[in-house]
């Protein structure tokens, strides 16, 4: 586990938007810097209160993220688990705002927040700022005017995430790298359906745009048969793809899903329709959930993109530590995605299991 700590911490002082170059699970070579990286001196590990709210516990990816965040804070950094409160926002911003108000009443020392609606960041930031509590936003990126405001006004708020343009581009590249570049029927264009996450979320917007852009940038003609929101949800993904296959049948060459949960639903619909992945249809997701990566190994998924929850969780915790130490934090901190295809799926599986 210790190795995973390191790469997250290499990002700390590299400018306004920090890109963490090496993914934590691949960071074996960085071990030597570990001492300097995890500097907890002066932090009251026993008594520090940390308030965490996750937009929805039912989300598969955020469950992995939340588990790693709590594990890292308690096991690797040594915070007292009794003082770490993790709330379920239940996909309801009003409910989550109440939780944040309670954290303020309880005088937590720092918050780590996965907002239900990133558009509520200005209001939440002001609440926390007035109470003198620093906040680390994760996973759902507030818009740039908001993070610019934190920097300009010296507000103790920061975002830790991954640039979803990169994940979208990787999805498109995975299709380009197939034997026929996604044009299974050879009609000179790639006909696809797009299953989108919650469109309020920048990850959904960017993955939708950049996956297709990778194809068009390569000079490939595309045809969008359907774009529909599946809200990151497996059952919705299954229903959307089932209906799309009924309506468009053999015309569907590629199924893009903004995340793996929806892609796993899509796979159920694809198999029920008697279609064969990588032969008469391609399927790509994002996150690298274990089931998705296993499906790549088994030939039932074309590809996914590793959304590095280890690095993101650890970086978020490290930013919280910096605030506790009174240090400055960059407003935006980004972790790299990793492309996952049949070429490296077995190796990735070992690392995420
Ligand atoms: C993940 C999704 C997840 C969403 C939650 C995205 O980055 O890819 O699986 O549902 O975050 O906000």
The atom number, within ligand 1, closest to the CA of 261 reads: 9
Find out whether 334 and 162 touch, Cβ atoms under 8 Å: yes
Question: Going by DSSP bridges, is the β-strand pair 157-162/135-138 parallel, antiparallel, or unpaired?
Answer: parallel
Domain definitions of the chain by residue range: 7-162+308-352, 165-306
Maximal C-alpha separation, the chain: 65
| Rg of the chain, C-alpha, whole Å | 21
Query: What H or E segment, with its residue span, contains residue 34?
Result: helix 34-37
The atom number, within ligand 1, closest to the CA of 161 reads: 7
Find the 185 Cα to ligand 1 centroid distance in Å: 32
Pocket lining for ligand 1, CB < 6 angstroms: 55, 59, 61-62, 139-140, 201, 203, 232, 259, 261, 286-287, 307
Question: Going by DSSP bridges, is the β-strand pair 304-306/338-340 parallel, antiparallel, or unpaired?
Answer: antiparallel
Determine the pLDDT at residue 32. 34
CA torsion angle 90 115 319 75 (round to 10): 10
Return d(Cα 6, Cα 23) in angstroms, integer: 10
Determine the pLDDT at residue 265. 98
Determine the pLDDT at residue 16. 44
The atom number, within ligand 1, closest to the CA of 207 reads: 8
pTM value is: 0.91
Find the 60 Cα to ligand 1 centroid distance in Å: 8
Find out whether 319 and 331 touch, Cβ atoms under 8 Å: no
Find the 287 Cα to ligand 1 centroid distance in Å: 8
Which tokens go with 64? 């992995």
Find the 232 Cα to ligand 1 centroid distance in Å: 7
Find the 264 Cα to ligand 1 centroid distance in Å: 14
- Close Cβ partners of 319 (under 8 Å, ≥ 6 residues apart): 136, 158, 160, 329, 333
Determine the pLDDT at residue 25. 47
In the chain, which stretches have pLDDT less than 70?
1-38
Find the 258 Cα to ligand 1 centroid distance in Å: 8
The atom number, within ligand 1, closest to the CA of 286 reads: 8
Find the 148 Cα to ligand 1 centroid distance in Å: 24
Find out whether 168 and 206 touch, Cβ atoms under 8 Å: yes
Q: Which class would CATH give 7-162+308-352?
A: alpha beta
Return d(Cα 73, Cα 324) in angstroms, integer: 13
Q: Which of 141, 161, 290, 307 has most ligand 1 atoms within 8 Å of its beta carbon, as the pocket-test mutant?
A: 307
Determine the pLDDT at residue 353. 87
Q: CATH topology of 7-162+308-352 equal to that of 165-306? A: yes
Which tokens go with 100? 């944040």
> What crossing angle do the helices spanning 121-130 and 144-153 adopt, rounded to 10°?
20
Which tokens go with 109? 């020392």
Residue nearest to atom 10 of ligand 1 (CA): 232
Question: Going by DSSP bridges, is the β-strand pair 157-162/254-257 parallel, antiparallel, or unpaired?
Answer: unpaired
Angle value at C-alpha 39, between 33 and 42, nearest 5 degrees = 165
Return d(Cα 112, Cα 52) in angstroms, integer: 5
Determine the pLDDT at residue 128. 98
Q: Which class would CATH give 165-306?
A: alpha beta
Determine the pLDDT at residue 18. 52
Looking up tokens 């950049």 gives 210
Looking up tokens 């793996």 gives 260
Find the 295 Cα to ligand 1 centroid distance in Å: 19
């Amino acid at each position: 586990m210790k190795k995973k700590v390191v790469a997250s911490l290499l990002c700390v002082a590299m400018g306004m938007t920090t890109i963490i170059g090496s993914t934590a699970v691949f960071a074996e070579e960085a071990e030597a810097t570990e001492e300097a990286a995890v500097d907890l001196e002066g932090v009251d590990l026993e008594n520090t209160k940390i308030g965490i709210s996750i937009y929805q516990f039912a989300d598969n990816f955020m469950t992995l993220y939340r588990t790693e965040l709590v594990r890292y804070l308690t096991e690797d950094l040594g915070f007292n688990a009794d003082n770490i409160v993790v709330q379920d926002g239940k996909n309801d911003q009003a409910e989550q705002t109440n939780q944040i108000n309670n954290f303020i009443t309880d005088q937590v020392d720092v918050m780590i927040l996965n907002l239900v609606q990133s558009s509520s960041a200005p209001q939440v930031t002001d609440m926390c700022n007035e109470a003198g509590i620093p906040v680390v936003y994760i996973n759902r990126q507030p818009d740039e005017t908001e993070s610019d405001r934190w920097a300009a006004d010296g507000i103790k708020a920061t975002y830790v995430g991954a640039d979803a343009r990169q994940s979208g581009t990787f999805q498109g590249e995975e299709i380009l790298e197939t034997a026929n570049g996604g044009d299974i029927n050879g009609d000179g264009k790639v006909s696809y359906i797009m299953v989108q996450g919650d469109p309020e979320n920048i990850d959904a917007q960017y993955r939708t745009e950049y996956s297709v852009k990778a194809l068009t940038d390569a000079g490939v003609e595309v045809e969008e048969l359907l774009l529909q929101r599946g809200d990151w949800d497996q059952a919705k993904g299954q229903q959307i793809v089932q209906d799309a296959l009924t309506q468009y049948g053999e015309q569907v060459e590629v199924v893009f899903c903004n995340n793996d949960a929806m892609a796993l639903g899509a796979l159920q619909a694809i198999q029920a329709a008697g279609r064969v992945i990588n032969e008469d249809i391609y399927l790509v997701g994002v996150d690298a959930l274990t089931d998705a990566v296993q499906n790549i190994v088994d030939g039932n998924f074309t590809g996914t993109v590793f959304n590095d929850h280890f690095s993101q969780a650890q970086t978020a915790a490290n930013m919280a530590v910096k605030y506790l130490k009174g240090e400055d934090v960059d407003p935006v901190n980004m972790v790299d995605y990793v492309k996952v295809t049949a070429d490296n799926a077995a190796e990735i599986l070992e690392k995420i299991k």
